[in-house]
Structure 1
């Protein structure tokens, strides 16, 4: 009972004091009365010391990593500043946890020495936590139970604010990606130019009137017997598009209420993140949108951007409507590079409606969490490299199955 200030030892001391008073009256013993008064005074002073002479000042909590992934272990460190003028006995602590978190967030609270000169002492506790689902989870408040030096009284307090932890979706390590490496009409590319003599992207061309003499390529000049100048080639970075269909019609109603509610939607979100991380590592500039065309985050150009996407996907839910039938029309004017579509329920009619979209990418990949019996076959027949995901199936296996259907000249 949090409201009861006495420990078992304190309650026993108080009961003994009452017994001494009764016996003192029965026997007329002044000594027993003195013992009773002493015990009552000791218990009273012990209780008062917890409320007057010492109290926890504040608690600060740090979570590492700052944005953990679902299913991975995060480390939590809590620093508790305790103000005390008298030493305290060891106590206990506990930290508030959401229902879907697995953690042993309780333990012994270390004794604190006297702080007459420096009245604030800091006690640090550490524990590990694992969140089952993505989303924003609350940890706290932190609870600490302090004991007086004699162990007669205790005080339980909730201190510090709650900490909101953003939990990103879990990602699967994928191998290989549907990247076209070059050739006429293959893919649009984002181009960048690098300058500087000795760079790998330098070529030589004959000198033309007006060229700067500082650009003369002396090694090529000696080899060709004529003035040659450095010409910077453009480096190409392939563009890839990932479409995550968050239409409510494709998933259960629970996917619209909160993250983690629908396992199928969680599989789709995890697949989106995993594929994006794979394509970025393979050198693609990745654009992630929903079926309505809304970008879910800025374009990804580096591995660090994958962490930013993970944070953006942490709180994603479905939205009303069904945007998938209009997807082909929305991308009608675009010629895309690698195109990956991640969706939920898929019928043969949906697969047929997406047929024209497959022809606009050299390597279109379709991942669905809930296809009907013939939907995947229909999508494959129309040009998609399709596979079913979710329902306990390994994402890496499904991804590899889809890539196996891509011609080798269109793969990295």
Structure 2
């Protein structure tokens, strides 16, 4: 990722009173001290009648003013380029920022100080001092940034400070371009377990082959360059007046919906250790894992909205490869609490999803929301819920047993409705919980079918 810009070392046409005020405003503490000492010496020479002291005062006062004037009228130009590697990082990971400064003028620069503007969550503002850059030369510096919070953070614009050799005056020039660093949720690798409602094949079922279909069942498409001429469907070609070919066999793709509960009232705590951040990271891990297994993945929140371009009618789910994963993570990087109080909109969003697997990450539930979540199970072939015990996050460890009673009630209701439920407590490790959702492990651990592909403990 590259952004560049060009800045003047001086001001083009900025004379007059405004130019004088700008130059005087750039005086450093040393320059102001020299100016004050010179004026004081000149006043004392007048009061005491000492002409030699007047010469000293004029010299002291003139030095910072001459430095400010010369620095203000400096006409060299510099160009800067910023490279951010990588532009998308996980929470807690570092990114490297490389700055290149080119002197595109015909005169060498003086003392320069570079300062890049970065948000406070990425660390202190980096500063670099460059002594002299020859005409046509360049200098490269680098620094690292990291964040423990998700989000998109601007880097820049770059500020350039000019300083005279005596340190009497400093003037700042700013570039206009900036980069954006995206901090996405941490994605944890998950084991390829067999989830409830998942078939042994790639999808829930496969379409029958064209060899078994009758001639009237064939759905042709337009001829594309490179298609085998042996697949030309002559009857449709004669009907449409252009070459038509038989469609190739397309297996039915397995589908998965990841439900993320973003309700503000359903989560506890703030910052990286809150229940909401755990749910966001877990949803990202599950979605990326199912994408890697070839599923068409749709991410839905409690508001009923899907992540952009994850509608199954558009390429069968979120985009394939790195682009699809990047789109998903970029959306989760900036997702925030919703003001909603229920999951009814999410239930409506599942009405047209058809068969598929549902993986839900939900916060605190009352009886009404538990009933809505139980109804979602009827519209899927399998459902796995990660129920965050928000009470355990908000009370001391000694009182967590009492807070777990209400969570256990909702957990039992969901299991009775056919859900596979994993309770999430503080310090829970998602890969370990994920392995416990393996239906073969559940069968061996005393789990029995509860109808419609669900399991519960006897």
- Fold shared per TM-score above 0.5: yes
Give how far 1:4 is off: 5.3
Q: How does 1:300-315 map to 2 (within 5 A)?
A: 300-304=318-322, 305-315=324-334
- Deviations 1:183-221 (CA, angstroms, capped at 9, x unpaired): 7xx95458799xxxxxxxxx999xx9xxx9958xxxxxx
**Segment of structure 1 superposing worse, 305-314 or 375-384:** 375-384
SS in 2 for 1:354: helix
Give how far 1:21 is off: 6.5
Contact 1:136 1:314 in 2 (8 A): yes
Give how far 1:128 is off: 1.2
RMSD over aligned Cα atoms: 4.7
Contact 2:203 2:252 in 1 (8 A): no
For 2:229 and 2:50, how far apart are their aligned partners in 1? 119
- Deviations 1:355-403 (CA, angstroms, capped at 9, x unpaired): 3543554431101223643123432343222113363322222222333
Q: How does 1:119-268 map to 2 (within 5 A)?
A: 123-161=139-177, 163-178=179-194, 180-182=198-200, 188=204, 234-251=250-267, 263-268=274-279
SS in 2 for 1:237: coil
TM-score, structure 1 as length reference: 0.70
Give how far 1:345 is off: 0.9
Q: 2:386 — aligned with what?
A: 367
Asked if residue 107 in structure 1 is aligned to residue 127 in structure 2, the reply is yes
SS in 1 for 2:88: coil
Q: How many residues align?
A: 371
The alpha-carbon distance between structure 1 residues 64 and 406, as it changes in their structure 2 partners (threshold 3 A), is farther
Contact 1:277 1:303 in 2 (8 A): no
The alpha-carbon distance between structure 1 residues 126 and 104, as it changes in their structure 2 partners (threshold 3 A), is farther
Contact 1:92 1:144 in 2 (8 A): yes
Give ranges in structure 1 of 5+ residues lacking alignment: 194-202, 216-230
Asked if residue 295 in structure 1 is aligned to residue 316 in structure 2, the reply is no
The alpha-carbon distance between structure 1 residues 248 and 27, as it changes in their structure 2 partners (threshold 3 A), is closer
**Equivalent of 2:71 in 50, 55, 72:** 50
For 1:16 and 1:319, how far apart are their aligned partners in 2? 61
Give how far 1:7 is off: 5.6
Q: 2:89 — aligned with what?
A: 68
Give how far 1:158 is off: 4.4
SS in 1 for 2:186: coil
TM-score, structure 2 as length reference: 0.64
**Segment of structure 1 superposing worse, 34-43 or 303-312:** 34-43
For 2:106 and 2:352, how far apart are their aligned partners in 1? 75
Give ranges in structure 2 of 5+ residues lacking alignment: 1-23, 216-227, 232-246, 310-316, 391-405, 454-458
